[in-house]
Every structure is written in C-alpha cells, then in structure tokens.
Amino acid sequence: MVQGTSSSVGKSVITAALCRILAQNGVKVAPFKAQNMSNNSYVTADGGEMGRAQVVQAQADGVEPHTDMNPVLLKPEADSRSQVVINGKAVGSFASLLGTMELLTPDERYLVKATLINRFRGDLALLDPLPELIAERTRVPVLGVVPFLYDLQVKDEDGVTFGDYDPPALATTVFPSKVIGAEGPGDGTRSDHPSFGRDRGRVDYSEVPSHPMTLRPITVSVIALPRVSNPAELATAHIIIIPDSKSTIAELRCMKSRGLDQAIIEAATKRGVTVVGICGGYQILGQQLDDPEATEAPEPQSEPGLGLLPTSTVFDTTKTTRRVNVEIPAHNSGPLKGPPATGTGYEIHTGITPAQSPHSQL
C-alpha cells in the first residue's frame, strides 16, 4: 500500500513508477484503489468508468485499464452532493492535525492551545465525531470548523493552489495575444454549486496535447492563465474558453448574475472573439438547458443558454460512456485551421445535446 501525508503529494506518481519497475522486472502487477474521488474519469473498453490515476498506473505496467482497479468512483457535483459510480467520512484533517502534534517535541506541544479545521466544504454532519476525536487524541480543544469562503479577493501568498503543472511558456510562444478562460463559480468565486474550473477542467485541458490536433495550442494556453469572474476582464480577450461543470445550469446562472453572459455574447458577435466550450461549457453555448429529471439539482430546472450555438440540452438519468474516434476535416481559417486530423477519445455525459439546425460537425 502506498500512502501519503496529504493529497497531491505524489502517491499516484509513485504508484505508477512502482508498477512500471515491477512490470519491467517480470512481476505481474496491477493497480488498485478501492474508492477514488475525482471528476477526472476515464471510459474503459467495456464502457465502464474509473479514475484516471489508476488508468495511468495500468498503462505503466502494460495492462488494459479495468474497473476492478477502481470499483467505487465518487464524482462531486456540489459541496454536499456527489455522483457515485459503482462497477465516507473525512479523515484527512484528522491525519494532518494528529500527525503534526505527534511530530512536535513536548515543549512545542505545550505551546499549542487549540486547533481549527479551516476551508471545509460540504455537510458539517459528515465530520462527526471528528472534532471530538482530534481533541481526545491531541489533548487540546478544537475551536471549530470554518467553511470554505468564496470570492474573498485575498490573494494567495504563492502559486500552490493553482497552476502547479501548467506550462506557462506555451502561453506566450504560441499565442502572444491574451487568452482567457471564462468560468463560473470555482476557486475565487461564490455559488451554492461551486464546481467550475476545478480539477476536471484542468486535466481535460492538459490531456489534449497528447493528440496531434490543431486545437492543442489553445487548450495548453488557457490553463496557464488566471480565471475570470468580472466582465471587464474579457474586454481584450481574443479567445474565451468556458470549461466543464458538474452543475451546468447553476454555473450558467452564476455567470449571468455577474454579467459574464452578455460580455461573452458581445465578444463573439461584435468583436469576432473565438468562444470554445468544453463539455458543460459547450452545453452553455446552446439555446436552452433543461433538467426535467433533476439530475443536477434537488428540483427540476430549466435555463436559456447563451444562444451562440443552434443546440439544446436535455439532462436525464441515462448515462453514456463509450469510446469514440474523432475526425477533423481540413480548415482554411478559424481555430481549427490546418490539415485533417484524427484522434481517439471517449464520451461521458448524461442526456443529449441535439442540433436545432444543420451545422458544421467535428
């Protein structure tokens, strides 16, 4: 078992390396993670869905990824709602606080008078009885739990929270003009359904460069630049990218509340700015979004889209997971300018997004 002191310390990378080393030494090995929490999923050959980290680990040891390697996948849709893919309790704070106290000398521990759990997202009831356990084991009181607060406008001291793996050089060498990713409520903005611009979007962008497609420079560029929450920030944009979301209608409503919808529409129709929508962002660009089965929220809901594409989206409870082949014809201009290109990928979505009139297809 490979364990770490916290999230994002390299457990998945070390596991992939061990898989590779063992496989090269003739050991039959396969990765396994009983439960994973990630919106960055992958479609297996038989149509199953699993976390991408275990996929990379399987590829490292030369075996076909299978859902047995990740039997339970949690895909958060909001702070207190998650999609469960089947083929807990929070313990990270407990491990961090207890581990820190155990590493202190007796004289140092004496100086610690209380602890605090900060930036908590979700249902507070999920923590019980964690605060009591922490107080019992550390022998200092837990003052309380502070929720994650959005839109505080307090800048981080360094870049640890965003862009750790971004290649910033590509943003200037490929596109010297300003490229901006327009997003709804994610890190740095506020909403009841904060999911835009989190891990899923970042991985979706970073996966594209492995395919020889003309869009590669655009998607690489956007992840190296700040998020947008103010219409004024779009005034000089040459390209606007709206990323994916697990709460698409809620994100669209947040965009409208900030005036981002009109700013994007005017940029596209009056200034000729290229607007790219990724998954949920593509649905937002259409005429209408309807959720009659309440797949994204506790109640059925509907919302007009930005109206930039002749499409409409209807969410339902039927989920599509399948492998696909992509063919892009030659284009003489526009963001797809270049020779014909092909690639492979997969679809993961609920509902359908049909075209309301004939249009160019990828």
pLDDT at 211: 35
Distance between CA atoms of 211 and 215, rounded to whole angstroms? Answer: 9
What b/e readout covers 176-193, taking b as 16+ CB neighbours within 10 angstroms?
eeebbbbbbbbebbbbeb
168-352 is classed CATH 3.40.50: yes
pLDDT for 193 equals 25
The per-residue pLDDT for 312 is 93
Comparing C-alpha atoms, which of 243, 153, 237 is closest to residue 195?
Answer: 243
pTM, two decimal places: 0.56
Residues of the chain with CATH 3.40.50: 168-352
Q: H or E element: which one contains 280?
A: helix 280-284
Structural contact between residues 345 and 326, judged by C-beta atoms closer than 8 angstroms: yes
Extract the tokens encoding 301: 């809901």
In this predicted structure, what is the pLDDT of residue 208? 38
User: Who's near 287: CB < 8 A, 6+ residues apart?
Assistant: 304, 305, 307, 309, 310, 311, 312, 356
Helix/strand number for the chain, H first, E second: 11, 15
The pLDDT value given to residue 93: 65
What's residue 156's pLDDT?
54
Q: Return the structure tokens found at 12.
A: 């998945």
Kindly give the parts of the chain with pLDDT less than 70. 78-80, 88-93, 122, 150-226, 335, 357-362
Query: What pLDDT is recorded for position 69?
Result: 92
Token output for 93: 């704070």
